[in-house]
């Protein structure tokens, strides 16, 4: 599958794609304590984004990370370590996925998890910052075909500013979360 390399207007199908991805993961995660969250720009209604669904498999403790990794590998994903971000285990996609996505395992409440949730929820609640972020991504979009690292770095200061201003984390029943056996709400 080709990695999407453009910033597009918000697509109302993105939450549905998250629900499909989440439903495909659930049989592999089974009874392992976890929550699956839709994070990233595609989890923010109205926000322009790359059409890549960011998914966090959130486990309650570090001791469960190896089991989550093992189960996702059994589902066809390839573990890629933390990909440079401590506290976040990243995965390469199986060849037969229907929707391009980034998949991570994080521990509930660790910095990687908090940053994902705080940014998502801040952008959901703050239209001015949502537009600032969309404008920055559009400004940098030309880099997606030549230098993805520069694209990420170019957004970095704004992302850090928004995370720093965000004021708290949602409860377990917030939109974009699924619990084992529960229908997706994202």
Q: Identify whether the C-beta of residue 105 lies closer than 8 Å to the C-beta of residue 59.
A: yes
User: Residue 3 has what pLDDT?
Assistant: 87
Q: Confirm whether pTM is higher than 0.75.
A: yes
Three-state SS letters, the chain: CCCCCCCECCCCCHHHHHHHHHHHHHHHHCCCCCEEEEECHHHCCCCCECCCEEEEEEECCHHHHHHHHHHHHHCCCEECCCCCCCCEEEEECCCCCCCCEEEEEEECCCHHHHHHHHHHHHHHHCHHHHHHHHHHHHHHHHHHHCCHHHHHHHHHHHHHHHHHHCCCCCCCCCCCEECCCCCCCC
Residue 4: both structure tokens together: 């999407």
As a whole number of angstroms, the distance between CA 39 and CA 159 comes to 14
Domain parsing of the chain, residue ranges: 14-166
Which residues on adjacent β-strands are paired with residue 102?
54
Please report, in tens digits, the pLDDT of each residue of the chain (186 residues total): 778 999 999 999 999 999 999 999 999 999 999 999 999 999 999 999 999 999 999 999 999 999 999 999 999 999 999 999 999 999 999 998 999 999 999 999 999 999 999 999 999 999 999 999 999 999 999 999 999 999 999 999 999 999 998 854 343 334 444 443 332 333
User: Residue 174 has what pLDDT?
Assistant: 41
User: Residue 169 has what pLDDT?
Assistant: 38
Strands 78-79 and 177-178: unpaired
- CATH architecture observed for domain 14-166: 2-Layer Sandwich (3.30)
Residue 87: both structure tokens together: 């506290």
């Amino acid at each position: 599958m080709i990695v999407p390399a453009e910033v597009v207007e918000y697509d109302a199908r993105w939450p549905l794609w998250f629900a499909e991805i989440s439903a495909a993961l659930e049989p592999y995660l089974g009874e392992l304590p976890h929550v699956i969250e839709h994070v990233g720009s595609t989890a923010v209604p109205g926000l322009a984004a790359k059409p890549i669904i960011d998914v966090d498999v959130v486990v309650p403790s570090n001791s469960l990370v190896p089991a989550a990794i093992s189960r996702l590998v059994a589902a066809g994903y390839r573990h890629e370590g933390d990909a440079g971000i401590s506290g976040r285990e990243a995965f390469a996609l199986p060849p037969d996925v229907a929707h391009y996505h980034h998949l991570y395992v994080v521990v509930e409440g660790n910095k990687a998890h908090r940053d994902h949730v705080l940014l998502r929820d801040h952008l959901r609640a703050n239209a001015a910052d949502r537009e600032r972020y969309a404008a920055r991504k559009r400004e940098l979009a030309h880099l997606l075909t030549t230098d993805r690292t520069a694209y990420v770095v170019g957004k970095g200061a704004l992302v850090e500013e928004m995370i720093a201003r965000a004021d708290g984390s949602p409860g377990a029943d917030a939109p974009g979360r699924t619990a084992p056996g529960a229908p997706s709400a994202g």
